[in-house]
Structure 1
Amino acid sequence: MLLNTLVASLASGLVLGAFASPLSHDYAGAKTRRVVPSSHSLHERHLSHWERQWTKRSKVPDTQILPMRIGLKQSNLKEGHDKLMDLSTPGSSNYGNHMTAEEVVDFFAPHQSTTDAVTEWLVSSGIGPDRFAVSVNKQWIQFDATAAEVEELLFAEYYVWNHLSGSHDIASEGYHLPTHIRKHVDYVTPGTRLRPRNVKNKRAGNFNKPQPMITQLPGFPFPNSSTCDVYVTAECTRVQYGIPNATTAAPGNELGIYESLDVHYSRKDLDIYYSTLYPNIPNGTYPEERLIDGAIGAIEDTTEYVPIDLEAPLDFDSSSPLIYPQGLVLFQEDDEYYESTEAFNGFWNTFLDAIDGSYCNYSAFGETGDCTAEECFDPVYPDPNPGGYTGQLQCGVYKPTNVISISYGAGEYGWPDYYMKRQCNEWMKLALQGTTIVMSSGDSGVGGTTCLGDSGKIFEVDFASSCPYVLSVGSTEWDRFDNVTTPTPGKKLNEVATKRFPSGGGFSNVFGVPDYQRDAVSAYFDQVESSLGFDAYHHFVANGDFSNVTGGVYHQGGRAYPDVGAVGDRQVVYSNGSWWLVGGTSLSSPVFGAVLTLANEARIAAGKSTLGFVHPALYQHPEAFNDITVGSNPGCNSTGFPAAKGWDPVTGLGTPNFPVLLKVLLGL
Structure 2
Amino acid sequence: MLFQTLACGALLGSVALEVAASPVGQPHASVGLSSAQSQRRSIPATHAVHERQLPHWSKMWRRTDAVPRNAMLPMRIGLKQRNMQEGHDLFMSITDPKSANYGQHLTADEVVELFAPERTTIDAVVGWLTGSGIEIGRITLSANKQWLQFDAPAAEVEDLLLTKYYVFEHSGSATRDVAAEHYHLPHEIRDHVDYITPGIRLRWDSKKAAREQQKKRDLQSIGRRGTSGNYLTPEPIHSADAVADAIYPAASGNVSCALYVTPDCVKAQYQIPNATKAATGNELGIFESLNEHYNKADLDGYFASAYPSIPKGTYPIERLIDGAVGAVPFGQAGAEANLDLQAAMPLIYPQSTVLYQVDDERIQKNETTAKTPYLGFLNTFFDALDGSYCTYSAFGETGNCVTPECLDPSYPDAGPGGYNGTLQCGVFEPTNVISISYGGGEIDLPAYYWRRQCSEIMKLGLQGVSVVISSGDYGVASYVGDTNTVEGCLGTGGRAGTIFNPSSEATCPYALAVGATSLNPSTGNYTSRLTEHAAQRFASGGGFSNYFDQPAYQSSAVENYFNTVQLNFTGYDDAPTSLADMANVGTGVFRRAGRGYPDVSAIGEHYITRFNGAWYAIGGTSLAAPLWASMLNLVNEERIAAGKKTLGFINPVLYQHPEVFNDITVGSNPGCGTEGFPAAKGWDPVTGLGSPNYPKLLKLLLSLP
1:242 to 250, 271, 283: 271
Measured in 1, the distance between the counterparts of 2:278 and 2:2 equals 46
Mapping of residues 549-560 of structure 1, within 5 Å:
549-560=585-596
Residue matched to 2:542: 505
Give 2:490's aligned residue. Answer: 452
User: Map of 1:395-414 to 2, 5 A cutoff?
Assistant: 395-414=425-444
Cα deviation, 1:630-650, whole Å, max 9, x if unaligned, reads 010000111000000000010
SS at match of 1:240: helix
Q: Equivalent residue for 2:505?
A: 464
Equivalences for 1:283-432 in 2 at 5 Å? 283-302=312-331, 305=332, 308-342=333-367, 343=372, 344-432=374-462
Residue deviations 1:480-509 (CA, integer Å, cap 9, x gap): 235xxxx74413211111100000001000
Distance apart, 1:551 and its partner CA: 1.1
Say if 2:573 and 2:585, in contact at 8 Å, map to a contact too. Answer: no
Q: Out of 159-168 and 583-592, give the one that drifted further.
A: 159-168
Judge conservation of contact 2:664–2:691 (CA < 8 Å) in 1. Answer: yes
Question: Which deviates the most, 351-360 or 3-12?
Answer: 3-12
Equivalent position to 1:490, from 518, 527, 545? 527
CA distance in 1, matches of 2:389, 2:145: 12
Cα distance in 1, alignment partners of residues 202 and 587 from structure 2: 33
Give the partner amino acid of 1:55: R
1:97 paired residue number: 104
Counterparts of residues 163-202 of structure 1 (less than 5 Å): 163-165=170-172, 166-198=174-206, 201-202=210-211
Cα distance between partner residues in 2 of 1:638 and 1:544: 20
Conserved 8 A contact 1:203-1:345: no
Tell me whether 1:515 sits opposite 2:552 in the alignment.
yes
- Partner Cα separation in structure 2 for residue 110 and residue 256 of structure 1: 31
> 1:115: Cα distance to partner?
0.2
**TM-score in terms of structure 2 length:** 0.89
User: Could you report, residue by residue, the CA deviation over 1:501-524 in whole angstroms, capped at 9, with x for unpaired residues?
Assistant: 000001000100000000000100
Tell me the SS of whatever aligns to 1:341: helix
Could you list the per-position Cα deviations for residues 426-450 of structure 1 after superposition, in whole angstroms to 9, with x for gaps in the alignment? 0100000111110110001111120
2:24 corresponds to? none
* 1:542 is aligned to 2:587: no
Asked if 1 retains the 8 angstrom alpha-carbon contact of 2:74 and 2:152, the reply is yes
Partners of 1:468 and 1:614 in 2: CA distance:
11
Superposed CA deviations along residues 123-157 of structure 1, whole A, max 9, x for unmatched, are 11121122121111111111111111110110001
Moved more, 31-40 or 544-553: 31-40
SS in 2 for 1:421: helix
Contact kept? 1:625, 1:654, Cα under 8 Å = yes
Distance verdict in 2 for CA 1:517–1:257, change over 3 Å: same
Q: How far did residue 38 of structure 1 move?
A: 2.0
Please state if 1:62 is matched with 2:63: no
**DSSP-derived class of the 2:334 partner:** coil
Q: Deviations over 1:450-497 (max 9, x none)?
A: 011121200111111011011100000111235xxxx74413211111
User: Deviation per CA, 1:285-343, whole angstroms, max 9, x where unpaired?
Assistant: 100000000001100253xx3xx220011101111000100110000000011011113
Question: Which deviates more from structure 2 when the two are superposed, residues 36-45 or residues 645-654?
Answer: 36-45
Q: Which moved more, 1:64-73 or 1:4-13?
A: 4-13
2:674 counterpart of 1:638: yes
1:633–1:650 CA contact under 8 A, matched in 2? yes
Who is 1:580 aligned against?
Answer: 616
- Greater mean alpha carbon deviation, residues 187-196 or residues 574-583: 187-196
Distance 2:692 2:529 in 1: 13
Note the alpha carbon deviations across 1:61-111, whole angstroms, 9 max, x for none: 111111111110100001111001110101211111110000000000000
Instruction: Return the letter of the residue paired with 1:382.
Output: P
Structure 1 counterpart of 2:679, which letter?
Answer: A
**How far, CA to CA, are the matches of 1:536 and 1:162 in structure 2?**
42
Quick one: which amino acid aligns to residue 320 of structure 1? M
Is the CA contact 1:367–1:419 (under 8 Å) kept in the aligned structure 2? yes
Aligned-partner Cα distance in 2 for 1:624–1:272: 35
Distance 1:488 1:286 in 2: 31
**C-alpha contact 2:285 2:356 (8 A) present in aligned 1:** yes
In structure 2, the CA distance between the partners of 1:204 and 1:15, relative to structure 1 (3 Å rule), is: closer
Question: 2: CA distance between counterparts of 1:135 and 1:442?
Answer: 39
The offset of 1:544, in angstroms, is 3.5
Look up the SS of the partner of 2:48 in the other structure. Answer: strand
Corresponding residue number in structure 2 for 1:144 = 151
> 2: distance between equivalents of 1:367 and 1:155?
23
1:226-265 to structure 2, matched below 5 A, reads 226-265=255-294
Correspondence for 1:282 among 306, 311, 333: 311
Pair 1:82-2:89 in alignment: yes
Partners of 2:213 and 2:356 in 1: how far apart? 21
- Of 517, 520, 523, 1:479 maps to 520
Q: How many pairs align? A: 644
Q: Is the 8 A contact 1:156 1:174 kept in 2?
A: yes
8 Å CA contact 2:3, 2:142 repeated in 1: no
**Contact 2:520/2:530 (<8 A) preserved:** yes
Q: State the 1:615 CA deviation.
A: 0.6
CA 583–203 in structure 1, closer or farther in 2 if over 3 Å, else same? farther
- Distance in 1 of aligned mates of 2:145 and 2:249: 57
Q: Is the 8 A contact 2:664 2:681 kept in 1?
A: yes
Measure the CA separation in 2 of the matches of 1:564 and 1:52: 44
Pick the aligned partner of 2:236 from 189, 195, 216. 216
Q: CA deviation at 1:15?
A: 5.6
SS at 1:543 equivalent:
coil
The alignment yields a C-alpha RMSD, in angstroms, of 1.8
SS at match of 2:160: helix
Paired residue secondary structure (1:286): coil
Provide the rounded CA distance (Å) in 1 between the counterparts of 2:212 and 2:509. Answer: 29
> Secondary structure of 2:675's match?
coil
Partner residue of 1:532 out of 545, 554, 567: 567
Instruction: Name the SS for the 1:329 alignment partner.
Output: strand
Aligned to 2:6, what secondary structure does the other structure show?
A: helix
Q: How far has the Cα of 1:533 moved from its partner?
A: 1.1
Contact 1:163 / 1:196 at 8 angstroms: preserved in 2? yes
Give me the whole-angstrom Cα distance separating, in 1, the residues matched to 2:348 and 2:443. Answer: 37
Distance 1:477 1:330, change over 3 A: same
Give the Cα separation in 2 of the matches to 1:451 and 1:541.
14
Match of 2:17 among 8, 14, 18: 14
In 2, the alpha carbon distance for the partners of 1:144 and 1:5 equals: 15
What's 1:661 paired with?
Answer: 697
> In the aligned structure 2, how far is the partner of 1:647 from the partner of 1:34?
57
TM-score by length of 1: 0.94
* Cα distance in 1, alignment partners of residues 2 and 530 from structure 2: 64
Q: CA deviation at 1:202?
A: 3.1
Kept in 2, the 8 Å contact 1:40–1:179? The answer is yes
Residue among 627, 637, 648 paired with 1:601? 637
**Which residue number in structure 1 is paired with residue 35 of structure 2?**
none
8 Å CA contact retained: 2:360, 2:418: yes
